[in-house]
Structure 1
């Protein structure tokens, strides 16, 4: 069965995304309207934990992540369909609940088809449950036709790079700190409806060789490194600089959700591992999975939940379950 037919009337293969079919997001409406949490889901560019394959990386480089993981409702490794690039493959799997194989020949760019028609999605399920749905991506809206795709996936609003200024850049792209500030502003807006915000960050996007490493940050990222850096650490140092900003973004979002007038649920994951060929050749090549976690403002003490491995297309349904758990 081709995608064109699936998009109009999801069949057996598309049934794996049944949680996003109209009328079947029943978990959320079980909660009274005032208790439905704001939900923020962040797809952080190239987010990974390099400490798992590189002993030279500072252990404190992901301090907010480590603290959040201990208190997370759910966390573990996310099987993603991309390596170093092709963000849209992971993004589509999370939003539609469909595995890449379900898209057949369209799996490498499913947005080509989604730009032409509506499709059941995570955002549409939240909107049906009374949420205002926002997609935030600090990059030109027409890239991958997201300006057409996101409305078809159930987003009321799409915020792109036009909402930011050159001062918001950190390196080559809009920084995670500026994105966190924008999310905080959205959460502070007066609205009786809860928010679902899906975020696609850009700060740690390659090529990492477009900017030099910073010697003044090595104590916090590669504490044992000499200067000048050897070739296998040059791009790694740039990556770690921005990874620290992703970690700081996580902390900022937790604070913003904690200050909101209703409960908050935060999901955070990476779309793929970074492109670091010299570092991988010297240290070791990572497995290619990305870390993920789901955290709630209601969970204030450490629970140290056992890690749960998910495929990217399963993450959205897990988020829906936790949104309705109260």
Structure 2
């Protein structure tokens, strides 16, 4: 038996066999990382892993094959995460996502076929490596030699990383460099766990002016009900000339002025909570660098003077409806810390699954609105998240009685399914608007709807970056362009503050101006920053103004980063 295993190992070690396998691994890594510049770095990573494994096992062929497999598998896992959340794999995922039971349950339920295939492949690979370990011969060499080779390989990996001076830390993770992201993220382990990266920016900013935590509630007898609708995975289909969408659906993207207003978010394909974070807090997720996907965990109870807190201080009842579990990415607890008095989650609503039509959530909202207006004299702020257009798109969720399969909206099957879900979702939203028009409430109603990120289903329709640049590295590329719409019922909306294409962090401050809602020094400062920066937040051309604003919030105790 040993002789058979030995011959098998020798066969795997032969250059005729090993060379094509290695080349195939490099091609896979290039596919996951998109740029050849990172492949030499990944080769040194494989060499470092091989040397570490050899140091422990004293089996060279086994160590080399395991190292190559680990790097390729990590690249595949990062690719999967990037497709789902728009952010590549980071070492801190082991603590944040890896310990989030509700997130893991959702991913397992939504992508069970991928999970099953991955586990089956992992089991087969594990069996193969057990056999390879037993068949490989032990090579004895001095410990100092093996240790020196390991140190040299690790040093080579550090040197080989193609770092670009001045490149923001988040760029690597939003650019789709999926094979290398996990290994690059190991450099973040020097930070104490939980330290906010934005601290350095705020500390370096000069103190300019003073901010207080006052509120200006306005006429307490004329406060409208306020409704935020976060439209999951929505974007304006007009951005993609490759698809067709009925005029009736396109019109639902428009505000009261008959225009579609563009907005730029900071995540693609997933990471809804990052967009919601910016809307509610008036902060940029990208300002947190590689910590952007974890802001709901890291910033709980660290943000004051948020939009829900502002309205709560002015006598509003504040309620959030979220289609996920309260514990999902810690969003429920985070929203409570911002000033939401009630958070109604997946468990409380008990839908049949996560992919019910949006009208399910609107029906929950309608019941709450009727009951509130019957029993409570306070104005209502209700923030509702939808879910129906969320991926995956490999199965049809649209009832053909509701929407016939023809005509097709897109040639690509997944894009077509996505757009069909969008069409149905817009019908449900339109029904919600008709209810607000029919019963606006004593002081009227204001409805803000916004798309939180684009879907992976239309990724192939995005143009390539200019001059070879990755489109995901540009926060103002089409990949991050969504929209918002504003509607007033029994309430006049001044669309001027909303006319500028803006980053998501300015949305609430702009609505406050447009609808005459309660305000505060913090939101007035945000509106001034929006105008000074031409609607750009993280990438403001006069970045000192952004840093000064953050410094003021920190000094006033409204942004706790320590």
Q: Please say whether Structure 1 and Structure 2 have the same fold, judged by a TM-score greater than 0.5.
A: yes
Q: Secondary structure of 1:108's match? A: helix
Q: Secondary structure of 2:447's match? A: strand
- 2:509 equivalent among 305, 317, 322: 317
**Is the counterpart of residue 188 in structure 1 residue 370 in structure 2?**
yes
Residue by residue, what CA displacement relative to the aligned partner does 1:230-253 show, whole Å, maximum 9, x if unpaired? xx5211121122212321232122
**Is the counterpart of residue 271 in structure 1 residue 455 in structure 2?**
no
Larger radius of gyration: 2
Distance 1:5 1:313, change over 3 A: closer
- 1:91 equivalent among 249, 267, 276: 276
**Is the counterpart of residue 58 in structure 1 residue 249 in structure 2?**
no
Moved more, 181-190 or 78-87: 181-190
TM-score by length of 2: 0.48
- 2:214 equivalent among 23, 36, 39: 23
**Is the counterpart of residue 290 in structure 1 residue 482 in structure 2?**
yes
Q: Secondary structure of 2:252's match? A: helix
CA–CA distance in structure 2, aligned partners of residues 117 and 158 of structure 1? 19
Moved more, 182-191 or 99-108: 99-108
CA–CA distance in structure 1, aligned partners of residues 278 and 450 of structure 2? 13
Matches within 5 A, 1:122-271: 122-167=307-352, 172-189=354-371, 190=374, 191-211=376-396, 223=407, 232-258=411-437, 259-262=439-442, 263-271=444-452
Distance 1:202 1:236, change over 3 A: same
CA–CA distance in structure 2, aligned partners of residues 304 and 99 of structure 1? 23
- Asked whether the equivalents of residues 398 and 424 of structure 2 are also in contact (C-alpha less than 8 Å), the reply is no
- Asked whether the equivalents of residues 136 and 199 of structure 1 are also in contact (C-alpha less than 8 Å), the reply is yes
- Asked whether the equivalents of residues 256 and 488 of structure 2 are also in contact (C-alpha less than 8 Å), the reply is no
Shift of 1:265: 0.2
Q: 5+ unaligned residues in a row in structure 2: which ranges?
A: 1-194, 466-470, 472-477, 519-562
CA–CA distance in structure 1, aligned partners of residues 464 and 403 of structure 2? 18
CA–CA distance in structure 1, aligned partners of residues 403 and 430 of structure 2? 21
Residue by residue, what CA displacement relative to the aligned partner does 1:144-180 show, whole Å, maximum 9, x if unpaired? 112311110100000011233445x5xx523210111
Q: Which protein, 1 or 2, shows the higher relative CO under an 8 Å CA cutoff with sep ≥ 6?
A: 1
Q: Secondary structure of 1:174's match? A: coil
- Asked whether the equivalents of residues 256 and 486 of structure 2 are also in contact (C-alpha less than 8 Å), the reply is no
Shift of 1:312: 0.3
Q: Secondary structure of 2:293's match? A: coil
Q: Secondary structure of 2:391's match? A: coil
Q: Secondary structure of 1:145's match? A: helix
Distance 1:157 1:11, change over 3 A: farther
Shift of 1:211: 3.8
> Which residue in the other structure is 2:232 paired with?
45
Shift of 1:36: 0.6
- Asked whether the equivalents of residues 453 and 480 of structure 2 are also in contact (C-alpha less than 8 Å), the reply is yes
CA–CA distance in structure 2, aligned partners of residues 212 and 36 of structure 1? 39
Distance 1:299 1:92, change over 3 A: same
Give the RMSD, CA atoms, in angstroms.
3.7
CA–CA distance in structure 1, aligned partners of residues 492 and 301 of structure 2? 43
Q: 5+ unaligned residues in a row in structure 1: which ranges?
A: none
CA–CA distance in structure 2, aligned partners of residues 187 and 325 of structure 1? 19
Q: Number of paired residues?
A: 304
Shift of 1:122: 0.9
Shift of 1:112: 1.5
- Asked whether the equivalents of residues 187 and 256 of structure 1 are also in contact (C-alpha less than 8 Å), the reply is no
> Which residue in the other structure is 2:558 paired with?
none
- Asked whether the equivalents of residues 54 and 283 of structure 1 are also in contact (C-alpha less than 8 Å), the reply is no
Shift of 1:107: 2.2
> Which residue in the other structure is 1:32 paired with?
220
- Asked whether the equivalents of residues 217 and 241 of structure 1 are also in contact (C-alpha less than 8 Å), the reply is no
CA–CA distance in structure 2, aligned partners of residues 119 and 81 of structure 1? 22
CA–CA distance in structure 2, aligned partners of residues 156 and 322 of structure 1? 25
Residue by residue, what CA displacement relative to the aligned partner does 1:27-82 show, whole Å, maximum 9, x if unpaired? xx21232x21100011110111213313541333525515x52446x851111001
CA–CA distance in structure 2, aligned partners of residues 160 and 107 of structure 1? 23
CA–CA distance in structure 2, aligned partners of residues 319 and 101 of structure 1? 22
TM-score by length of 1: 0.79
Distance 1:39 1:279, change over 3 A: same
- Asked whether the equivalents of residues 496 and 514 of structure 2 are also in contact (C-alpha less than 8 Å), the reply is no
CA–CA distance in structure 2, aligned partners of residues 124 and 306 of structure 1? 22
